[in-house]
A and B are shown apart, each in its own frame.
Chain A
Amino acid sequence: NAGVTQTPKFRILKIGQSMTLQCTQDMNHNYMYWYRQDPGMGLKLIYYSVGAGITDKGEVPNGYNVSRSTTEDFPLRLELAAPSQTSVYFCASSMTERPETQYFGPGTRLLVL
């Protein structure tokens, strides 16, 4: 099993550009999450999904969009990149909503200049 995979590992964007961060899990988990971690801060929840076709906002959703057309994939879209979106992005999935059951991807480091 690959677990949770994220691409790309690292990306530099110019202000105003768009990009999609990819997240795929092969564990047939219903729950998927996107977090961001800013320097010196804890992870903050951006969006989550409880199943295909269902998504909801987390703590810091502004500037992002998500979709969940399949159980496996949960892409995160940045439409107009801003320097404030410079961060490390983690995708996670879980079989239940209990936090200790979450599996995390290795992260995507994004730099917006």
Chain B
Amino acid sequence: GNSVTQMEGPVTLSEEAFLTINCTYTATGYPSLFWYVQYPGEGLQLLLKATKADDKGSNKGFEATYRKETTSFHLEKGSVQVSDSAVYFCALSDGTGGFKTIFGAGTRLFVKA
């Protein structure tokens, strides 16, 4: 069945450092891929998405490219800020709606000033 694997955390970075959070997936067909972010005390919110191979999703300085050949959707940001400290979830949907969204375990990011 479908699955999502993302790197374990926590990830601790200094402000302005480069961020990569790895995410790989297993799926049949052509799923849509998502990154969600959960700030302290809040619910998950969609950060970015990509719906087909080679698509690049981007938002708030974060980017992720849908790589079908490596089944990956790694999250990157060139210069992190303290306010980026949160938990990041990679997820996929096989097109059957929100009922079948598969989430990764989440990666906690701490950014130090």
CB closest residue in chain B, given A44:
B103
Residues 16 to 48 of chain B near chain A (Cβ within 8 Å) = 32, 34, 36, 38, 41-46
Q: Which residues of A contact B (CB under 8 A)?
A: 3-4, 31, 33, 35, 37, 40-45, 48, 58, 90, 92, 94, 97-107
In the complex, the answer to whether A106 meets B103 with C-beta atoms within 8 Å is no
Set A31, A41, A92, A97: member contacting B43, Cβ < 8 A: A92
In the complex, the answer to whether B98 meets A43 with C-beta atoms within 8 Å is no
The interface on chain B, measured as residues whose beta carbon lies within 8 A of the other chain's beta carbons, has a size of: 26
Q: Which residues of B contact A (CB under 8 A)?
A: 4, 8, 32, 34, 36, 38, 41-46, 49, 89, 91, 93, 97-106
In the complex, the answer to whether B105 meets A41 with C-beta atoms within 8 Å is yes
In the complex, the answer to whether A104 meets B106 with C-beta atoms within 8 Å is no
Which residues on A sit within 8 Å (CB–CB) of B103? 35, 37, 42-44
In the complex, the answer to whether B105 meets A42 with C-beta atoms within 8 Å is yes
CB closest residue in chain B, given A39:
B105
